[in-house]
Amino acid sequence: MIKPSIYPILSGRTKRKRRFLFVTTLLSVIAFALCSTMLMLGNTIYPVSDVVRVLMGEQVSGASFAVGTIRLPRMLAGLFAGFAFGVAGHVFQTMLRNPLANPNVIGITAGSSAAAVFSIIVLQASNTFTSIASIAGGLVTVTVIFLLSRSTSFSVGRLILIGIGIQAMLNAVVSYLLLIGQQHDIPTAMRWLTGSLNGAKMEGLYPLILTVLIFAPIIIALGKRLDMLELGEQAATSLGIDTDRTRLFLVVSSVLIIALATAVTGPIAFIAFLSGPIAKRLVGAGFSGIVPAGLVGIILVLASDLVGQFAFTARYPVGVITGIIGAPYLIYLLIRMNQKGDL
């Protein structure tokens, strides 16, 4: 009897691993290049040597203020917010097995935005309190959505529909708050609707950076369990996965990082929606797409911000550019899902 060879299997896995490493490395290089470009490019273009000197703490005439005070916070806001949106979007799409089940569509970012706008317009609170309110709003919203979608059996479609309804209600609340708000508070509050890196300050970034550094590794560590959840409840349970506990850790961690990202940049449109599918297509099957999705999120945010700032005569917030990119894809996805009978 001829024993079947395991070499084709090993070869296939090796190829998938090489593809994963190549794609992840390439995305990292692109993200690094965009970060560098954001630090160098502006009304005045500074060479790499000046940027490095500023980052090392040296005082460089002109560059210290432009790079250290304006461009560096803006770049870091896009870096960490893009990673947070990308990772959280991938988690919800994979866990709920539906590309529409991302934090933007099911209302989680709307909850964070509504809480933040309320704290700005009604309470006129500080940035720290606004960040806390944004976190609380996201957590409360996701809790309400999951509670309302519970029945005799878990239904992704029911959860998405309830989330869309909650999102519409929260958007109405935001519109009302903008109508009754003071004139000087409106520009600040509008940032939560469009998504922007304008006005990012280092002191306001520390909560986001800390939260991502703490909870992103937790999500990455649960990557294999997340992929098993995509197989379905029964399959994941038969593989020894505590589905309820895994979902709890994934949901809480994802909501925390995306709520902080929303508190800093506002709900940048379609980043959470696009990052996961793009990363999955690039990486292929067999490996977790969490890190690639985060890197794609970084690239989308930073590239869109650069386009919005320098590609046109007028300057546009990053959310306007990502909205232009993401809206056609959403329409295409809805048409394709309707043809397949998934809607």
Give the model's pLDDT for residue 218.
94
Q: What's the rounded Cα separation, in Å, for the pair 340 and 336? A: 6
Closest CA to 306 of 318, 314, 320: 318
**CA distances in angstroms from 208 to 38, 77, 203, 211, 304, listed in the order given:** 19, 8, 10, 5, 20
What pLDDT sits at residue 290?
92
Domains of the chain, start order: 7-340 (1.10.3470.10)
Q: How far apart are CA 82 and CA 80, in angstroms?
A: 5
How many whole angstroms separate alpha carbon 266 and alpha carbon 195? 4
What is the reported pTM?
0.87
- 136 exposure class (CB count in 10 Å sphere: 0-12, 13-18, 19+): middle
Tens of pLDDT along the chain (343 residues) come to: 455 555 555 566 778 888 889 999 999 999 999 999 999 988 888 888 888 988 888 888 878 888 888 899 999 999 999 999 999 999 988 888 877 777 777 778 888 888 888 888 888 777 778 778 888 888 888 888 888 877 655 566 777 788 888 888 988 988 888 888 777 777 777 766 788 888 788 888 888 999 999 999 999 999 888 888 877 777 777 777 777 788 888 888 988 898 888 888 888 878 988 888 889 888 877 778 899 999 999 999 999 999 998 888 888 888 889 888 887 877 877 777 666 655 5
| Residue 1 pLDDT | 47
Which residue, 29, 73, 76, is CA-closest to 295?
A: 29
What token pair was written down for 103? 């934090």
DSSP count for the chain of H helices, then E strands: 15, 0
Please provide the DSSP assignment of 217-274 as one string. Answer: HHHHHTHHHHHHHTT-HHHHHHTT--HHHHHHHHHHHHHHHHHHHHHHH---TTHHHH
**Residues 6 or more apart whose Cβ sits within 8 Å of residue 337:** 99, 100, 343
Sequence-ordered list of residues with C-beta below 8 angstroms from that of 14, at least 6 positions apart, any chain: none
